[in-house]
Structures are given as structure tokens and as C-alpha cells.
Chains A and B, each alone.
Chain A
Amino acid sequence: MPDTRPDPDELLPLPPAAFHILMAVADEPRHGYAIIQEVAARTGGELRLSAGTHYRSIQRMLEQGLLLETRERPAPELDDERRRYDRITPFGAAVARAETRRLAHLVRLARQRGFAPGRA
């Protein structure tokens, strides 16, 4: 785990899976299945993370300091003790913001070139 946090921009562009996972845990810690469900729902079923892809992304993001495994757990009747919960770190939020900025800038540039959706 790196001691000194690098510049968020160094991790850009973020892989789509990682970006989606960050969005899924933006407001509360979630476990793997919940994240996958959330991502699928958010994208209207377009992006379905497979288990392997999901957990490799989680592993990489933990190493990069974007996520942290958390001990906060929901009420026991809602919990499965085999599950692990991950939450976003401040650095993860900073990286997500930087990626949003990057994408927004990209979209702005594309619109200026006349690539706005809906126009022929």
C-alpha cells in the first residue's frame, strides 16, 4: 500500500468497471453482489460485471487506495457473514471526481466538433 498518495490524475483514465464500482459505493459501503446489482441497475442492464472481473477490480482498487474494506456491517438479519463490504476512500472520491472532470471535458470537446447526440 503506498504511503504517499499519488496525484489522482495519475490513475486516469479509470477503467469503466472501476468507475462504476466507485459510483456504486459512493454513498454507502456495499458487498460484491450488491455492487454488481447496483451497476447493472444503473446502466439499465448494459454492464454486468462478472465475479472475476469484479473482484480483480476490487483487489486492484484496494491496492491503489481507492477502496477500503470496512467492518461496518448491516443488521445481522440482513447480513451474510461470508460477505465483505468495501467503502470508498477520500482518495477514491478524488479520483472519481477527476475522472468525471476528464469525461466532461471530453464531452465538451466532442460537442464543439458537432458530435452532440440527437443531431445528424
Chain B
Amino acid sequence: MRFYRLLLRLYPAAFRAEYGDDMQALFAEGRRAAAGRRAGLLALWIEAVADVLRNAVPAHWDILRQDLRYAARALASAPGFALTVVLVSGLGIGANTAVFTVLDAALLRPLPFDRADRLVKLWERLPGYGRLEASPANYRDWRNATTAFESIGAYRGLSVNMVGRGEPRQLDGAALTADVLPMLGVRPAIGRAFTPAEDQEGAAGTVLLSDGLWRTAFAADPAVLGTRVLLDGAPHVIIGVMPREFRFPGRDAALWTPMRFASADFEDRDDNFLHVIAKLEAGVTLARARDEMAVVARRLEREYPAANTNTGIAVTALRDGVSRQSRLLLFALAGAAACILLIACTNVANLLLARGLARRHELAVRSSLGAGRERLARQLLTESVLLAAIGGAAGLAAAALVLPALEQMVAMALPIAGEVSIDARMLSLAIGLTALTALGFGVVPSLRACSGTALTGLAESTRGGVGGSRERLRGALVVVEVAASIVLLIAAGLLIRALVRVQATDPGFRPDQVLTLRTSLTMPKYEATARRAAFYERVLSEIRRLPRVTGAAYTSFLPIAMGGGIWAVQVGERPQDRTQGHTASLRQVTPGYFATLGIPLRLGRDVSEEDTLERPFAAVVSESFARRYWPGENPLGRRFRIAFQERTVIGVAGDVRVRGLERTSEPQVYLPHRQVPDGGLVWYAPKDLVVRSAGDPAALLPDIRRIVREVDPEQPVSDVQLLSDIVASDTAPRRSQLRVLGVFAATALLLAGVGIHGLLAFTVSHRTPEIAVRMALGARTGDVVSMVVRDAVRMALTGVAIGGALGYAAAKGIQGLLAGVPAGDGWTFGAAAVLALAMALAGSVLPALRAARVDPTMVMRAGS
């Protein structure tokens, strides 16, 4: 019998209470009838178990349906309350779902490659320099020396002009060694991958297309295999099309060619341009691979002391391609979203507590009509779950809406699709958050509503419910809201200060009214320096003749847009050792570059068209370069070695923030564009055109395109941008992170204000009789108002104190994002406190006015 009673526990409690005894009696009668017959008894038990299993779920469903119907009616009768709860919980769920989806895509989800957890990158590591790409010679030696990896391959970024079908295009991609694609476990969707034979110097050119390029440039033609295209003038045969989701090494890769090494590539160990990717042998840990590579690094140091002294080898998981800063940013956003959810839950819990109090009469009536305590709690919880479910749906919709704005925060450099989409993981997260929210704001109020005092509501009439533990709980919830919003305000405030500070940084040039675009000259067509010079001369002289153009010039790379191009520097007899940071960022420029960009020339002269190979090698250096090597001396006429030549300083220019506003840049060296032997330094051949206009620089574009076309019809124009946009893009991640955090902080502040208002309004309406008595006893309006406002200020101050401490801790956590603004910035903390107090006062205005308007005679008469 005990077992049958246990079995009955599967039914809802209310059902059990009603019919449990009856069913036990029924079962007992069945047992009596089957007494003594083993088979009969067995059949009875089997039937009983099957019966319970068959009916328990429908019985629960019956009650749920009833409760849902009741809940829907109850909520429909309080639409303002229902709407507020749905909006507030939707906000919390939506913010969290969106942020965690981005976090998931950027940090958690495995990369879309075979055994992605075993993929690593290998780097050269130099003191004071961090990680550096590998030189081909070191790469070759690593390959031959290690056992920790199943395979090792290399790739380098590629930027080529493609002439095939349609307009010439400027495309980004990568050159891969034949090991890379098999290592990633990716096969072309059409055609074949590279063979090791294609890695060899002199093999016929082959190319793989991205799905996107295949669709846009070749109209998704399956017969594209075997088609010949020209990449930078060299013939390549299309051998395959990669699957749509393949993005490697970054999101914008459009084509891949085999990586070829010339024997000359292995001569200079300081020529670092290879990204080395490897797959750990099964069972080999990252730590073991690091130990092994440390041994290899020490051996190479001994063998090649000139180039490899102090050169270590770093092994990092491919998944960790996200920079520390964007990682920190994502965690900060996740923290902010969690704050919002906390505030939303406390707010809704407060609303439900107030509503539970207001409904005590109704609950008491139902209780006296025979509804059990469990039944009522279940009913209230159903209401919360229903609200949270609607809120969850609203949140999911909101998240889907804001996701595109958050996508910018996923680093471009990750080999994943740019679109962060709503998928099963996101859905389950939203459902989980909804459940958490419903429990968070549903359980406590429903338990409280059903506790003894609540059910005595009939006798107690409508008074009471204020004072004691209940009000303390509600007050504490409001304090939590204020504290959480203070934390967000402080974080947002500090980031605003940091943004202002970064934006105030002088980039070293005047970015406004400058149009930039790229004409990457095709090699080997333009390998001869004179041929390039002729191109520049014709293009620039035509452009300078356009109306309102005040300057035009070419450079190897635009500042901020490209931070690399670093060379070792040797001054005097000091040995050339890049490990001590004797490096400079190298650019070839045409005359007029400094004037066009507004970089001040402090000493000497600009490069000129007369600086040819027949004249002594010349260079313009930056102020920091001159200060470092010839402090307090005149740098003009001094000599130093860079890029294979000894050069004489002819001028000193202002420093430029080549690596962006927030990073320290190497000193700069500018070379005259004609002082390069044919085929030398081709990567540095000027390709970026800068044009300054007295009017709207963008209006020049059609004329510039025409001029380029007239000079060389096969030359594509790409990367058209305003220089001011390039500078702005440097702070774009900051601005988007600030927008999100700012919206979060504003929402939190508003919610906290609503919370304060709700609590005070409720308190005042329930304390009306008490207020009336006080006024009848001589209290003035001012006393009553200040009583209400005091409550608000007390809660706000408590929240500010707690939130201030937490905010300081949070600020310490995001110090890396603050660009030098101290975590305890007084202005920010003060402003946050003032805002919170202002919000508390604003929230108390209406309740205070209502308290002031209490008419003692009316209230006393109504109460008697």
C-alpha cells in the first residue's frame, strides 16, 4: 500500500488531496478481490502502475491549462502591470541573450575546423616586441625539429589585382602551403585542393576561390574550373571553390593561392612574414608543445646568434586569436548585461510583491473556498512563468534586432562568419534566462503571498502589509537596483572619459578633407622603379590640376590603416639587433606627402624627384627617431642603415601615430620613392594615394578614377576612404562598446527610478491613514513630503555607497580599456552619484505630492 501511495505522488498535489484517499480505497478493494491469487495480484499492480503513468501527465496538464486560463484573465485585468513586467523582463533577457550570443561566437564556440581544439599558431617571440610572424628560415627549421605536431603549415596575407571576368578587382586572400587545408579538414566544395608539387618554385599558378567571389565574379558558374585569371599580372588557373562557410585566415578572404618560397626567402632570418599554423599530435598538450619549442628556440639561438639571439617561440591556441582588449570588452558587456538582468528581476519581484499584497483579498477568498496553499502558490508561479515567457519572447525579438549592431564587436581577424545568427544555443540560453527570471521574481513573491499572514487577508481587510520584514525586503530590492545602476553608470562614465581622451590624441597629421584610395601596382609589370615613377608622376600631376586640390602624394601605407612595415635600424657601429627595439616603421613616399597630410617638417627638406639612385641615399626621419639616436644634436647629415642601405638624414618630420591613437608606434623613416633598385622592396612600392582638397574631397573621386584609367586602363582603384574615417575607425570599437554600455546604464538608471517610484507610491498609498493621523495631530505638509523624500534619499544613498564600492572593483577589472583614466576617477564617481540621487528625487516627486494632498478629515471619515 505504501508503494501505491508513493506512486500517487506523481499526480498533482491538488488532485491527490481530492481523490487520493478514494483511489487508495479502490486499490485496497482490488487487492481484497485478488487476495491469495498471485497472478491476480501481479495483474493489479501492473494495471495500477500503467494507470498512474498514463494519467499523471494529463492531470498536470489539466491543472496547468486551468491556471494558464486563470492567469491570462488575471493579467488581462491588469494590463499596465502585465505590460511593465513583460517589457522589463524582456529587456533583461534580450540584453543578456544578445551579449552572450556575441560572446559565444567570439570566444566560446569551437572554430569550424577539424579537431579545432588541437590547432595552434607558432610565433617568434622577442623581448619588448611580443609575438612576431616567423621568417621562412626559422619556419623551415621548426618544421624539421619538432615531434609535438601532426602537421605544420604556413600562410601569409595576400592582396592582389584580379583581372578575369568583368572589371579588374582588388582582392584580399592568403597564400597557403599545401598542408594547411588538410590540417583544417576543409575540402573545396568544387574542384580540388593544392598539391605539394604546387608549392614549388616555378609550378604553374593555381587559385582557389571563395564561395562569395565565385558567386559575385563568376555568377556561380560550375564550369569555372580551369578558367584562367590574372593575379597581379601572373596567369593562374582556377582549380576549385571553397565551401561557403570557409573563412580563413580572416572574414574577408576571397581567394587562396599556393605559398611558394624562393631560395632567397631563406637567407634573411629577420624577414618575418609567415603565419605558422600547426596541429598538435593527439595526446600532446599545449604545455608540452611549448616545452619542446623552447628547446628548439635555444638550439636555433646557438646556431644563428646574429638573427636569433633572444628569439623565443610562442605557441598559442588558434581559438585565442581575439585580442586581450576585445576579450575584456566582451566580458565587461556580459557583466553589464547581467547587471541589467539583476535590476530587471528585482524590479519585477517588487512589482509582484506589491501586486501580491494588493491581491491578498482575492487569494484569501480562494483559500477559504478550499484552494490549498500549494495550489495557490502553483497558480501564482504559473502567472510568473507566463509573464516571463512573454518577456522571454519579447527579449528574443529585441536581441535579434540589436545583434547586427553588436556584430562589429566580433573581431574581423577570426576565421568565422561575420553574421552572428540566432541558433539553438541562443534559443536555449533565452529559455534558460527566462526560467531563471521567472524563478527569480516569481518564487519569493508567491511563497510570501501564500505564507500564513497573507492568507489571513480577509480578517485583516486592506490595511497593513507595510512595515516589518516585507517592506525591508522591498527596500533592499530597490537598493540593489540603485547599486547595480551605479556600477553601470561608473563603467559607462569611465569609458566616456577614456574615449574623449583617446579622441583628443593628436595623430600627428591633419585627417580632415583628405581622400585616400589604393592603386596597388601590379607586379612584375611595375617592378621597374622608373615605370612606377612615371605612373605616379602622370597621376599626381593630373590630380594636382583638378580644381580645389591643394596637395596629392603617394605612400607605401596609410598611417593607422596599416601599422606594420617595420625594419631593423643600425646607427653607427652598434650591431644591428632588432631584439633591443632598434626598429622603425618604413615608408616610401613621393614628394609632397608631408604637406598633403599636414605632417610638419621640423628640419631640413622633403624628399624630391631628384633623389634618385644616382644621388646619395636619403631619408626623412621622425622627431622621435632623431631624439633617440642623436639626442641634443643636429640630426641633418647623420647616417644610419635601414633596408639594405646606408642613408643620410635630409629632413626631420613630426611624429605620426602609425599604429593608431592608443598604441605606441615605432619611430618613422621615409624614403624617396625613386631610390629603390628595380624589383627591390616591392612590397613597399607606394600604393596609397592621398589627396587634400579645399572643398569636399569625396567629390574628386570620379575625376581621380578617370585619371587612373587614362594612365593605365588595367589598374583597379580600391579602398576609397576619407582619412578622417580611417582615424574615426580607430575609435569605432570604443564608440560602439560605449553606445551599448551607455544604453545599458541609462536603462538601469531608469529602471531604478521606476523601482523607487513604485515602492514609494505603494508605501504612501498604504500609509495614507497614518499620514492622515499625523496631519490631524499637527504635522505640516512639509513634514509629510520630507518624510517621503527622506525614504527615497536613504535608499539612494545606501545604493550609491554599495554601488560605488562595486563600481570601483569593476573599474579595476576594465582598467585595460580605460586608456589611462584612473579607475577611481572622482568626476565619474561624483557624476554617477549625482545622477542616482537626482533619479531618486525624481522618483519620489509624485508619491510625495500624493502624500501632501492627503486630506485628514476624508480619510478619518472613510476609516470609521
Contacts and interface: CB of A to CB of B under 8 A. Distances in A.
A82 B62 contact: no
Given A33-B29, A50-B47, A51-B51, A56 B22 contact: no
Interface in B35-53: 47-48, 50-52
Interface string B445-482: 00000000000000000000000000000000000000
A56 B59 contact: yes
Interface magnitude class on chain A: 10 to 19
A83 B52 contact: no
Contacts of A55: 15, 18-19, 22-23
Nearest to B10: A52
A73 B62 CA distance: 29
A59 B62 contact: yes
Interface residues of B, number: 24
B825 interface: no
Contacts of A60: 62
A52 B57 CA distance: 11
A48 to B, nearest CB: 9
Given A33-B29, A51-B48, A56 B55 contact: yes
Interface in B50-95: 50-52, 54-56, 58-59, 62, 66
B62 to A, nearest CB: 7
B25 A33 contact: yes
B15 A59 contact: yes
A36 B56 contact: no
A33 B19 CA distance: 12
A32 B19 CA distance: 9
A80 interface: yes
Nearest to B369: A1
A84 B19 CA distance: 8
A51 B62 CA distance: 17
Nearest to A1: B369
Nearest to B50: A50
Contacts of A32: 19, 22-23, 25-26
Contacts of A51: 23, 26-27, 48, 51
A51 B55 CA distance: 9
Interface in A62-78: 63
A55 B26 CA distance: 11
A95 interface: no
A33 B59 CA distance: 20
Nearest to A57: B55
Contacts of B23: 32, 51-52, 55
A51 B54 CA distance: 11
B25 A52 contact: no
A11 B25 CA distance: 31
Contacts of B27: 51
A82 B21 contact: yes
Given A55-B15, A56-B58, A60-B62, A84 B22 contact: yes
B58 A59 contact: no
Contacts of B55: 50, 52-53, 56
Nearest to B15: A59
Q: B-side binding surface: helix, strand, loop or mixed?
A: helix
B24 interface: yes
Contacts of B56: 52
Nearest to A52: B55
A58 interface: yes
A106 B47 CA distance: 34
A83 to B, nearest CB: 6
A33 B26 CA distance: 6
A38 to B, nearest CB: 13
A60 B52 CA distance: 17
Interface in B1-31: 11, 15, 18-19, 21-27, 29
A58 B56 CA distance: 14
Nearest to B59: A56
B556 to A, nearest CB: 82
B671 to A, nearest CB: 90
A83 B62 contact: no
A31 interface: yes
Contact of B51 (A50, A63, A83): A50
A63 to B, nearest CB: 8
Contact of A56 (B26, B48, B62): B62
Contact of B26 (A36, A59, A63): A36
Of B26, B56, B58, the most chain A CB neighbours within 10 A belong to B26
B19 A58 contact: yes
Contacts of B21: 82-84
Contacts of A80: 25
A80 B21 CA distance: 10
B58 A82 contact: no
Contacts of A83: 21-22, 25
Nearest to B19: A55
A51 B44 CA distance: 11
Contacts of A31: 22
Residue among A32, A51, A63, A84 with the highest chain B CB neighbour number at 10 A: A51
Given A59-B19, A82-B21, A53 B51 contact: yes
Interface in A1-36: 31-33, 36
A61 B56 CA distance: 17
Nearest to B4: A51
A52 B19 CA distance: 10
A82 B54 contact: no
Contacts of B11: 52
A52 to B, nearest CB: 3
Contacts of B51: 50-53
A59 B52 CA distance: 15
Nearest to B66: A63
A91 to B, nearest CB: 19
Contacts of A56: 15, 55, 58-59, 62
Given A51-B51, A60-B62, A82 B19 contact: no
Interface string B292-321: 000000000000000000000000000000
Nearest to B52: A52
Contacts of B62: 56, 59-60
A33 B31 CA distance: 13
Contacts of A84: 18-19, 21-22
Contacts of A82: 21-22, 24-25
A10 B50 CA distance: 32
A63 B15 CA distance: 13
A83 B22 CA distance: 5
A63 B51 CA distance: 22
Nearest to B55: A52
Nearest to A48: B47
A119 B22 CA distance: 45
A85 to B, nearest CB: 10
Nearest to A60: B62
B379 to A, nearest CB: 15
A108 to B, nearest CB: 34
Contacts of B22: 31-32, 55, 82-84
A81 to B, nearest CB: 9
Contacts of B50: 50
A55 B12 CA distance: 13
A80 B48 CA distance: 21
A92 to B, nearest CB: 18
Contacts of A36: 26
**Residue with the greatest number of chain A CB neighbours at <10 A, chosen from B15, B23, B62:** B23
B56 to A, nearest CB: 7
22 contacts: A31-B22, A32-B19, A32-B25, A36-B26, A50-B47, A50-B51, A50-B54, A51-B23, A52-B23, A52-B54, A53-B51, A53-B54, A55-B18, A55-B19, A59-B15, A59-B18, A59-B59, A82-B22, A82-B25, A83-B21, A83-B25, A84-B22
Given A52-B56, A55-B23, 4 more contacts: A50-B50, A51-B26, A51-B51, A59-B59
**5 closest A-B pairs by CB:** A52-B55, A50-B51, A82-B21, A55-B19, A52-B51
Interface of B: 11, 15, 18-19, 21-27, 29, 47-48, 50-52, 54-56, 58-59, 62, 66
